Structure 1
Amino acid sequence: MKEVLSDIDIVDLIKSDEKKKVDKAFYNLYSRNYQPIRKFVNSNSGTDSYAEEVFQETLIIFFIKVQKGRYFLDGSIGGYLFSIARNLWLKELKKRRLSIFTSLDDKQDYFEEDDILASHKKLKKVLKLLGDSCKRILEDFYFLKTSMAELTKKYGLGSEAAMKNKKYRCLKGLIELVNKHKLERSDFSENE
């Protein structure tokens, strides 16, 4: 069994810029962090090959941040890598959704007016169940494109990491409510 390195050791090996040391660091990162990321991608409409791509891109981002001195050991490397991978995969999913909608000539043709009104009622009910605080945070971030720094200040949280965690919990709550109330993609149509 290979030696399990501490987070500090991994950062030091990557900073050394010696191929054998960097390889040792990446082997440790892979053996400890690939499976949770693979599981996340697979459970969110992905495959093993997508998980591999996301993980490789995550390691590249991490490597560059360490090399440029922009990574600070303020939490576990595993959590940091998972956060990067999650963001990369969610961006990919968002791109996929946008390409589906832009490929449709006219979305209105796919929905009857009564269906749209019923969908909006369901969506409003779910947002009401989510709670005002989470609803405002998600609206600010996704619709008003408010930066994480501005949200941190606006909601009086101590750090951007705390704000990201709050936003993530709100989004997770919304997803659970959407699943519980059996909403579908058509319920999120932009047509009024």
Structure 2
Amino acid sequence: MPAPSATALRDALLADREQALTRLYHRAFPPVRRYVGNHGGTAQDAQDVFQDALVILYEQAVGGTLVLTASASTYLVGIARNLWHHEQRRRARLPHEALPDDAEPLAVLAAEEVEDSAEPAFAVLDYVERLGEKCRNVLLAFYYFQQPLTQIAQANGYRSVRSATVQKFKCLERLRNSVRRAFTAENIEY
């Protein structure tokens, strides 16, 4: 059996990103939710990790840097697992960062899983479109067109490469927060 094609995934994302992301969500989020829950995470942790993993996969696929040796959903679960391990190590270094009182570990909620087909869809690029022209230009130039920061700084009128780097980081954080808020607001039940 030949390895899945990263080109096919890229084409699917470019042709109908909402449908492609929905398919990935249905296949990959339940295992990520279980994994994070079984390893001490909350429902919010699972959502955050999945969103970050999806952004990484999307950027690699559309940017042409993705190499698949398994299915896209398996690759996405692997990214999420690595992100969760990284987050656990980060939290271990910061012991004062405890779970909020109202956070329930996902292991408690695992018995209440809903049908996968009822999960909502979302499209990351829709959120990129809402960022505003300056942020959209910076993120697309850096991640999708792989332009050097010197070129991005010059094209967008930043005084230095450092200013462009800071702006890129701020825009990426705005995008992540926007996607997280929308993902949470879609009333996903566990």
TM-score range, shorter chain: 0.3 to 0.5
Point out the structure with max Rg over C-alpha.
1
Please state which structure has a larger fraction of its residues in helix.
1
TM-score normalized by the length of structure 1: 0.45
Could you say which structure has the greater relative contact order, defined with CA pairs below 8 angstroms and 6 or more residues apart?
Answer: 2
